[in-house]
Amino acid sequence: MTGDLVSDLRAALGDRAVLTDPADMAAYVTDWTGSFTGTALAVVRPASTSEVATAVRLCAAAGVGVVPQGGNTGLVGGGVPDSGGDQIVLSLGRMRRVREVDPVADTLTVEAGTPLATVQSAAADAGRLFPLSLGFEGSCTIGGTIATNAGGTAVLRYGMVRELVLGLEVVLPDGRVWDGLRPLRKDNTGYDLKQLFIGSEGTLGVVTAAVLRLLPATPRRATAFVALESVEAATALLPLLREHGGGQLTTWELLGRQALDLVLAHLPGVRDPFGTRHEWYGLVEIAGTSDDVDERLEDALSAAASQGLLLDAVLAGSPAQRESLWALREGVSEAQKSEGATLKHDVTLPISSLARFVAEVGPVLQEALPGVRLVTYGHVGDGNLHYNLSAPVGDDAALQARAGALTRIIYDAVAALGGSISAEHGIGALKRDAVAAYKSGVEVDLMRAVKQAIDPGGVMNSRKVLP
């Protein structure tokens, strides 16, 4: 049966669109973190929406599951197959056309496999801004960011992907195409179907194209890297930054010393901007169209210093300096990966509880695994921490042996403080089983009902997200 499927896919899409050689498939069956590796019947690379529809229809008829994949930069193992070897990977990598830029509607229509950086450039070429911004924007696809409802470093101002999408084109699990590719700002005709697919991590359908909102360009950027005494200082600074930012505050990021140490140890060409060590650092950016962004930032930092919330600050005086400050923040994932075994926890809490969370959980983790390194950083302005752990120096095995217990300590503390175990990376395979423990029974029932209604045959990425 499945041998027939591969022949049918080849006949319909062409030989070059269907990979079965393990060497050709290798890059598609292991994720960026290296923690998730599986096997697949085939990797299918359609070039158009109708080819996606054909591939999904053939898989559904053969009873074979489909794992959609964009740039394979996801951090929860959602875009790679498991070890069952009975699914196909459907890569959107060949669908990378910008279909339309509409200056009147202020929208951009793109195919799902378009890299995020290409979307940003297309917006810039039109004198506008597509504000989604994250570390691997050259590699991740717009379809992947939609499927995960990605966040990044400008959520504080512009919101998550969910707020940037006006319309979607989706291939459904039975191979039909839902054409919701509309640029409408207002459409109150019942359930907002596109929002079901955004953040569904490929479990309800394959996103093939999207209409995206464009925003005013922000050519003037004022950026500072600051030293802070505590997480409390970082959260106390937020209202000040907001007040002085005057609606132009775009980024407020946090970095613990351990995170900075890893960046300084592993990334070439970076340096500590301060002469002395500090416990915590922040990266702030105010962006707009006029030069007052510099003044706004300076005023905000002076006010913060006079209230004792700031220990030191470096302002970027040139684009090159801005890049080097951003590199310290954006390099953490890569640096932590180079350091060895990592346990990722992309958590979110009410902002007012972040400091308490960090103060209370750290000592409990140290007791559970002496020497464990707390690599804490993230989007503090959104209440989102990447509360990642690295193994005690030279002892990756200890971290792996205690992984379950350490994660439970963190998730229990998050739940007790009213937070969520995934802020922006999703559930995928990594957190699938935790969902049952940390979402309510009603929520899990509703999610299952949606899955059953749209994908009763369990074709789409069915071993992910739902417990």
Q: Interface residues with ligand FAD (CB under 6 A)?
A: 32, 67-75, 78-79, 92, 112, 134-136, 140-141, 143-145, 147-148, 150-152, 201-202, 206-207, 333, 424-425, 428, 461, 464
Dihedral angle sign, alpha carbons of residues 87, 466, 341, 401: negative
Contact call for residues 430 and 76 (beta carbons, < 8 A)? yes
386 binds ligand 2HG (CB under 6 A): yes
Contact string 80-119 vs ligand 2HG (x = CB under 6 A): ----------------------------------------
Contact call for residues 77 and 155 (beta carbons, < 8 A)? no
In angstroms, what is the minimal distance from the CB of 428 to ligand 2HG?
Answer: 13
Three-state SS for 40-56 is: CCEEECCCCHHHHHHHH
73 binds ligand 2HG (CB under 6 A): no
**Calpha distance 383→378 (Å, rounded):** 9
In angstroms, what is the minimal distance from the CB of 407 to ligand FAD?
Answer: 18
Total residues interacting with ligand 2HG, rule: CB under 6 A: 8
Q: Which residue is nearest to ligand 2HG (CB)?
A: 333
Q: Which is nearer to ligand FAD, 52 or 413 (CB)?
A: 52
Residues pairing with 170 in the sheet: 178, 207
In angstroms, what is the minimal distance from the CB of 106 to ligand 2HG?
Answer: 28
Among 48, 105, 135, 278, binds ligand 2HG (CB under 6 A): 135
Contact call for residues 250 and 220 (beta carbons, < 8 A)? no
In angstroms, what is the minimal distance from the CB of 135 to ligand 2HG?
Answer: 5
Burial class of residue 356, CB neighbours in 10 A (0-12, 13-18, 19+) = middle
388 binds ligand 2HG (CB under 6 A): yes
| CB crowding 195-206: b at 16 or more within 10 Å, else e | ebbbbbbbbbbb
Please choose which of ligand 2HG, ligand FAD, none residue 461 contacts, taking the beta carbon within 5 to 8 angstroms, the exact cut-off set by kind: ligand FAD
Contact call for residues 342 and 390 (beta carbons, < 8 A)? yes
Determine how β-strand 42-44 pairs with β-strand 18-19: antiparallel
In angstroms, what is the minimal distance from the CB of 141 to ligand FAD?
Answer: 4
| Distances in whole angstroms, Cα of residue 168 to Cα of each of 109, 212, 272 | 9, 9, 44
Please choose which of ligand FAD, ligand 2HG, none residue 344 contacts, taking the beta carbon within 5 to 8 angstroms, the exact cut-off set by kind: ligand 2HG
In angstroms, what is the minimal distance from the CB of 344 to ligand 2HG?
Answer: 5
Q: Which is nearer to ligand 2HG, 327 or 437 (CB)?
A: 327
Q: Which is nearer to ligand 2HG, 59 or 347 (CB)?
A: 347
Q: Which is nearer to ligand FAD, 65 or 78 (CB)?
A: 78
Please choose which of ligand FAD, ligand 2HG, none residue 180 contacts, taking the beta carbon within 5 to 8 angstroms, the exact cut-off set by kind: none
| CB crowding 244-281: b at 16 or more within 10 Å, else e | bbeebbbbbbbbbbbbbbbbeebbeebeebbeeebebb
Q: Which phi and psi (to 5°) does residue 250 adopt?
A: -110, -35
